[in-house]
Chains A and B, each alone.
Chain A
Amino acid sequence: MDSLDRRLLNMIQEDFPLTEEPYAEVGRRLGLTEKEVLERLAKLKEEGIIRRIGAVFDLRRLGYTSTLCAMKVPEGRLAEVAAVVNAFPGVTHNYLREDAYNMWFTLIGPCRRHLEKVMASIEARTGLPVLELPAESSYKIRVNFNLEEGNP
């Protein structure tokens, strides 16, 4: 990844042109041809740096609800429990963390009852309790990363 790639990534994260030919526009801004932009993006995607290009929605405004869950999973059961948890399509993020509560996942669904049903099902299938930590206020949700050098 060179400095042009970083500028390109910052631009398509934060300021994606909503035009019929967005990559030609990105090229104009960066002094590249459309073909060069598409080739660079294809490479960044192949390397796994770009996960997807599309819309990011406010789940609440779509009528959905979400919560955060934590579990204390014995070391030897991590893969098995992760398979149970990750099988639910509403589990979008799942991280191992350095704590007695070592598995942390987010759960999204179209109604509260569905979330409760999924959590109960995870408890039943793993025999482990799920600690639910629902949000009461949100101060920030930012999903883009500044990749230019010298920045965090």
Chain B
Amino acid sequence: MPRPLTDLEKELVRLLQGDIPLVSRPFLPVAQKLGLSEAEVLEHIRRLQAEGIIRRFGAALRHREAGITANAMVVWQLPPEELKRAGEKLATFPEVTHCYQRQQRPEWPYNLYAVIHCHTREACEKLAARLAAAIGHNNYRLIFSTAELKKESMQYFIQEPPECRE
């Protein structure tokens, strides 16, 4: 179980989950809202990062606009005992941005997922074949994405749905 966040930390999350301004001192507005100095805000950010609560601080890009136009999901159906080794292997490829083991369903029996981003569709096809060879399972399915219908950052601690209150 993760430790509960303090009220100050939740406020910091609310202020840092948006977009800091493109100005000389972008942490100043955050500091002013919290009644802290910029140095104290930066110290909190470093601490939250060290704790793993902040995974990364920096720019989030739109990869399509940045020229990385092809994105696909590669899925496998693997024996349970092979999942960990295969997942860890797939994670070493820089083009693999996400890799998960997921629950199998009768309608969708796959249990290992890798999301890949490439400059072209052909590059994704070649990469999928390389991934398959690397884990020794060639029975993969490559599913390209054709449109991005939504991509936003989650807004945390904005509202607490009634069903989540104990």
CB-CB nearest in chain A for B19:
A52
Q: Is the CB of A9 within 8 A of B164?
A: no
Interface size on A, as a range, is: 35 or more
CB-CB nearest in chain B for A83:
B149
Q: Is the CB of A113 within 8 A of B163?
A: yes
Q: Is the CB of A51 within 8 A of B84?
A: no
Q: Is the CB of A110 within 8 A of B164?
A: yes
Kindly state whether residue B33 has any CB partner on chain A within 8 Å. no
Q: How many Å lie between the Cα of A108 and that of B156 in the bound state?
A: 10
Kindly state whether residue B161 has any CB partner on chain A within 8 Å. yes
B21 to chain A, nearest CB (A): 9
B residues 127-166 in Cβ contact with A at 8 Å: 127, 143-158, 160-161, 163-164
| Complex contacts, B26 vs chain A, CB 8 Å | 22-23, 53
B residues 47-73 in Cβ contact with A at 8 Å: 48, 51-63, 65-68, 71, 73
A48 to chain B, nearest CB (A): 4
B residues 66-102 in Cβ contact with A at 8 Å: 66-68, 71, 73, 83-84, 87-88, 90-91, 94-102
- Indicate which residue in A45, A61, A90, A91 contacts B22 across the interface (CB closer than 8 Å): A45
Kindly state whether residue B6 has any CB partner on chain A within 8 Å. no
A11 to chain B, nearest CB (A): 9
Q: Is the CB of A97 within 8 A of B144?
A: yes
| Complex contacts, A110 vs chain B, CB 8 Å | 160-161, 164
| Complex contacts, A63 vs chain B, CB 8 Å | 2, 4-5
Q: How many Å lie between the Cα of A53 and that of B13 in the bound state?
A: 13
* Known A92-B153, A139-B100; 12 more pairs at CB < 8 Å: A16-B59, A21-B25, A24-B24, A47-B65, A49-B66, A50-B61, A52-B60, A58-B52, A64-B154, A95-B145, A96-B145, A113-B163
B residues engaging A (CB < 8 A)?
A: 2, 4-5, 13, 16-20, 22-27, 38-39, 42, 45-46, 48, 51-63, 65-68, 71, 73, 83-84, 87-88, 90-91, 94-103, 105, 107-108, 117-119, 123, 127, 143-158, 160-161, 163-164
A residues engaging B (CB < 8 A)?
A: 1, 9, 12-16, 18-24, 34, 38, 41-42, 45, 47-64, 68, 70, 82, 85-86, 89-99, 101, 103-105, 108-111, 113-114, 117, 131, 133-147, 151-152
List the 6 closest A-B pairs by CB distance, nearest first.
A139-B87, A16-B58, A140-B91, A111-B164, A55-B16, A52-B19
